[in-house]
Structure 1
């Protein structure tokens, strides 16, 4: 059970009524579960057997992102045909609106963050480098706050991990610091965060009055700090 479900359980225990989370599960169409099962199994097969992703005459297999997109669209089309859903009503649903917001958030904000870092790389990267030279463990903070701006683990890793190697930080410590590239939850504008807030029918997942006091802040900080601390401890003990 996720954090939303746990909060709903507490609300039910306090108020003696269903806040919407479990009602939504009971109302969930069976086709939704079957479609996701088919999607997961097809994706696993394509990943386990690359030969399934080879097109006639192609030199290499189709990438998994494209396969996932094709399978998702195919499963969605099959579900629409089998369930005879009124397609005109689909764009009006909260799920689709949340999904569109998530897409815009992911691509738009990631592009914005990447452009910002690219334009100011000469200022940001040396500043993080000077701080890491004095105290190498602070490089994790640099990774974290860079990921807040970049909205991408891959972009943060590509931009700063080479700097960590140049600074002479041992590889095992860089690996231990890797969880700190997941700082995009800090500012609640990432697509998946917005979608999660819209999907939560119980209303317990929300953005607070001061923006940063949102539902993802404490779990995100605790998870990141615990992962990095545990990794650094293991790196110290094992190497």
Structure 2
């Protein structure tokens, strides 16, 4: 591997563990090593599969050249333009995100009045939901502990309930279910979500870029 590639790699072991735990959280088959990264078969209407890489490895270009249809996503730890430079012209960037980790303590804020919190764990997946007084879902999220990581996934606050601290409550509630103190907390955030996580002490491990064929 060239020195330039090494300089931009995220921790491949951490990324692989996150990807495996995320697959559990979403009921997907385990990731499969391929082209210097991993293949995840998602089988969704808008996403047949995704290919995930810890950095700009040479296998990305060969893989991208072999793909000609939509609904397959290449995701890489690194800047969007760096990823785009490895791809044929038919590929386009999607909105980016950030691969993040948290090494400190997670403070549990008070739940605002008018809401109630439910946390359950079933088959390795912890689900937290914040409900309104009428039983509607105001916010929800999931977590899985696996292979030395504790992964937060699909942390969502509904638009009508944002800016009330519900995301902070969810993160703390899910984090309280971590069994091993050595399990590293990781997640991938959108650009907007990263601002919330940064305010909670999360640190950016790497930009997380995505491309597909429209």
TM-score calculated relative to the size of structure 2: 0.25
Tell which has more relative contact order, 1 or 2 (C-alpha 8 A, sep 6+).
Answer: 2
Larger radius of gyration, structure 1 or 2?
Answer: 1
Structure with bigger strand share is: 2
